[in-house]
Amino acid sequence: MKVLVIGSGGREHALAWKIKQSPLVSELYCAPGNPGMAALGACVDIPAGDIDGLLGFAKENKIDLTVVGPEDPLANGIIDRFAEEGLTAFGPNGRAAQLEASKAFAKSVMQRYRIPTAEYAEFSSADEATAYVEAKGVPLVIKADGLAAGKGVTVAHDVDNAIDAVREAMVEGVFGAAGSRVVIEEFLVGEEASILAFTDGKTVIPMVASQDHKAAYDGDQGPNTGGMGAYSPAPVITNGLAVQIQRTVLQPCVDGLANEGIHYTGVLYAGLMITKDGPKVIEFNCRFGDPETQVVLPRMKSDLVPVLLACCNGTLHQQKIAWDDRACVSVVMASGGYPKAYDKGKVISGIERAERDAGVMVFHAGTKHHEDNVVTNGGRVLNVTALGTDIRGAITMAYAGVRQISFEGAHFRTDIGHRALARHS
């Protein structure tokens, strides 16, 4: 069968890498892809946001399955468009993708179906939001309502910082239309974890747990990024907690949306805080996480393609998924200055050296070809990923890979997996 993967980041490279392993796949296309994905299939110069162009390509080339990586095309209804043309595409439709595209919508769903989450209020007036902050006090979490590429969240520990976050979103328009409305939440105390789950709109099958590292610098310091690394398994998620999350978060969300006439298929991603009162939802996302996908898919022993198809055709209950007991760690190598301003076009060396170790995979997140070189083309540049017998071993292997790679201004955290190590010490 012919498969098209939409996107150009580390998540999409990991998806293409896993899909390529399936004996069902005869041809793999990536749009627009990246240099890493080009080694797996044919890259097509169509941006992920060009729904008309992607639809035309899929029809012309008789694509059997399209897998959508980024959230923007999902929120803009790409699944609906493909379905109208009789094409199979993996992901939630436009109505279902509101779960990520609007934090206010997601919070209202959680409230209606008693899914545990932080207390919140939503505002479309900056003055009212500011008054709320002053009355409520800190700490608070201020979130742009819409899609902001993982950067629309501020954890404020002083009132001035909280008010600045409101002003940036609602007055200065730092996040564009995404910040015209904000959600202000209580600050949850605990340890974060991510649970991604496959669903066909009825059956929900969770993947193995992972933990993302959002802060830019070691010790979870500095501004939030799209993610500086991840690891799986996440020991904070015990077997008992996994069952509880399925029962109180994942299944109620899918069932609740179905109750409102919204058929949710694809991946349901729950970003969780494990508090003293149990797991609470920080956010829902409507697609594979990034960089969580890069540590979850290498642990998946089963063929991914039949699972994706089962989500699309309503037969997920027939699937059994096997997981590798080994641990996986991914370290993000980022451009200097990220998540703020950074330069592009820096020549990257050492990727092939890093991948000589059989347990190391380098997923391209923000790269492109320039003349005879691979160069930086984004904030997050590479995901250096390793499978090891345990977390400590996987960390050692991943950082050994990182040391083989260089580009001007390269920045990475040196403590990915530190919470897992602390639990095992």
The answer to the question of residue 120 being in a domain is: no
Residue 331 phi/psi, 5-degree rounding, is -110, 125
The answer to the question of residue 115 being in a domain is: no
Q: Are residues 352 and 314 in the same domain?
A: no
Q: Considering 180, 213, 248, which residue would you say is the last residue of a domain?
A: 180
CA 324: distance to chain centroid? Answer: 21
Q: Are residues 305 and 210 in the same domain?
A: yes
What CA–CA distance (Å, rounded) separates 103 from 257? 15
Q: Are residues 309 and 288 in the same domain?
A: yes
Q: Are residues 198 and 308 in the same domain?
A: yes
What CA–CA distance (Å, rounded) separates 226 from 231? 15
- The tally of CA atoms less than 13 A away on the side-chain side of residue 217 is 5
Q: Would you call the peptide bond into 35 cis, given omega within 30 degrees of 0 as the criterion? A: no
Q: Are residues 302 and 398 in the same domain?
A: no
Residue 249, classed as helix, strand or coil, is: helix
Instruction: Please give the single-letter amino acid code of residue 164.
Output: D
The answer to the question of residue 161 being in a domain is: yes
What CA–CA distance (Å, rounded) separates 332 from 415? 11
Split into its structural domains, the chain has a count of 4
The answer to the question of residue 247 being in a domain is: yes
Nearest to 100 by CA among 72, 68, 129: 72
Q: Are residues 196 and 287 in the same domain?
A: yes
Residue 154 phi/psi, 5-degree rounding, is -125, 125
> Can you give the pLDDT at residue 150?
66
The answer to the question of residue 38 being in a domain is: yes
Q: Are residues 144 and 36 in the same domain?
A: no
| Residue 352 burial (CB count, 10 A) | 10
Alpha helices of 7-114 — where are they, by DSSP H? Answer: 10-20, 35-38, 51-60, 71-75, 78-84, 98-101, 103-112
The answer to the question of residue 114 being in a domain is: no
Instruction: Please give the single-letter amino acid code of residue 331.
Output: V
Q: Are residues 229 and 299 in the same domain?
A: yes
Structure tokens at 380: 């997050």
Residue partners of 365: CB distance under 8 A and separation at least 6: 9, 10, 13, 34, 290, 291, 332, 378, 380, 381, 382, 383
Q: Are residues 10 and 37 in the same domain?
A: yes
Q: Are residues 196 and 314 in the same domain?
A: yes
Nearest-Å Rg of the Cα atoms of the chain is: 20
> Can you give the pLDDT at residue 224?
84
What CA–CA distance (Å, rounded) separates 160 from 50? 40
User: Which residue carries 């919140």 as its tokens?
Assistant: 120
Structural domain of 138: 125-180
> Can you give the pLDDT at residue 352?
96
The answer to the question of residue 8 being in a domain is: yes
> Can you give the pLDDT at residue 425?
62
- Here the CATH number for the domain that contains residue 74 is 3.40.50.20
Q: Are residues 216 and 288 in the same domain?
A: yes
pLDDT tens track, the chain, 425 positions: 999 999 999 999 999 999 999 999 999 999 999 999 999 999 999 999 999 999 999 999 999 999 999 999 999 999 999 999 999 999 999 999 999 999 999 999 999 999 999 999 999 999 999 999 999 999 999 999 888 776 788 889 999 999 999 999 999 998 999 889 999 999 999 999 999 999 999 999 999 999 999 999 999 999 888 899 999 999 999 999 999 999 999 999 999 999 999 999 999 999 999 999 999 999 999 999 999 999 999 999 999 999 999 999 999 999 999 999 999 999 999 999 999 999 999 999 999 999 998 899 999 999 999 999 999 999 999 999 999 999 999 999 999 999 999 999 999 999 999 999 998 76
